[in-house]
Every structure is written in structure tokens, then in C-alpha cells.
Amino acid sequence: MDAQHTPFDTRSAFQQQLALCIAGARHTLCMFDPDFACWELGSANMDAALRRFLHHGGQLQLVAHQGRPTEQSAPRFLRLIKDYQHRVAIRRSHPALRQLHDSFCLADQQHLVRRFHSDHYRGIATANDPFEAQTFHDHFITIWLESGPGLYADTIGI
């Protein structure tokens, strides 16, 4: 299957591509954003999609610089974390990584939605591009290994 690259530059287009990426995930979702503030993690649609993914055995890994926006505005997401804590791993980035401002979701090391900078909605959704997926998987692993536990711990006891 040929690689597909779909550019986007609006919040609604980002949300649409993110929903497609999550809906297509079967095994792993790796997500990075400085604070996940615009990801709508607390929306009913996102909750349903993530619950479906996790219920069928998926593993979710998230890394953020800080979690205050999500803690304050996404109670559904906090319940999801509590309900599926055995399938969800959340980390806080190391201070040395705080200069990173990209934002991405990688599904099954095959499908990618990324914003070039977390302050803007301009980005690209990529499907069936093994080189691009591997590049962002490696990027995520580097971020993950340089991060530690700590996000949402005060709220739900993880």
C-alpha cells in the first residue's frame, strides 16, 4: 500500500486526523505533547475511542511536559486512566526536554498524526510510511527513556 500524507492546518482537521489515527490503532498508541491541552482528551468521542482501543488490549503511552490542563479540564480522561491503569503509562518529560514543542500520535508504528509545533495546528497525517513511522517511534522512545513518572499522580494516585 502506498504511503499517504494528508496535510492539515485547523483544529477541526487535527481532531479529525487524530480520531482516525486512534480508531485505526490495534496494539499501541504513543502520544507526545507539551500539555495535551488541545487534544480534547476529555471529550465523549475521545473517551469512547480510547476505551474501545484499551478494552481490546491496546497499550497507551503518553509523555507531556506538564499535565495541569488535562487534570483541570478532562475528568473523563482521568477516569479512563484509573479504569485502565494496567494498559496506560503516563510520564512527565525531563526538564532537559522542555524545549521540544512538536506534538504527535503514533499508532502501531504505522500511522502518524503530527503537528510541527504545539502552538499551531499545522501538521500532517501519515499512513503507510514505514520510514516516517520509524523516525517518530525512535523519537518517542528517546523522549520516553528521558522521562519519568509523575503526571496525574496527585489526582488519581498513579
Domain count of the chain?
1
Which tens digit of pLDDT belongs to each residue from 100-116?
999 999 999 999 999 99
Residue owning grid cell 496506560: 88
Share of the chain above pLDDT 70, in %: 93
The answer, as to whether pTM is greater than 0.75, is yes
Phi, psi of 63 (to 5 degrees): -130, 135
CATH code for position 73: 3.30.870.10
Contacts of 97 (CB under 8 A, 6+ apart): 65, 143, 146, 147
Domain containing 41 equals: 4-156
DSSP string, 126-155: EES-HHHHHHHHHHHHHHHHTEES-TTHHH
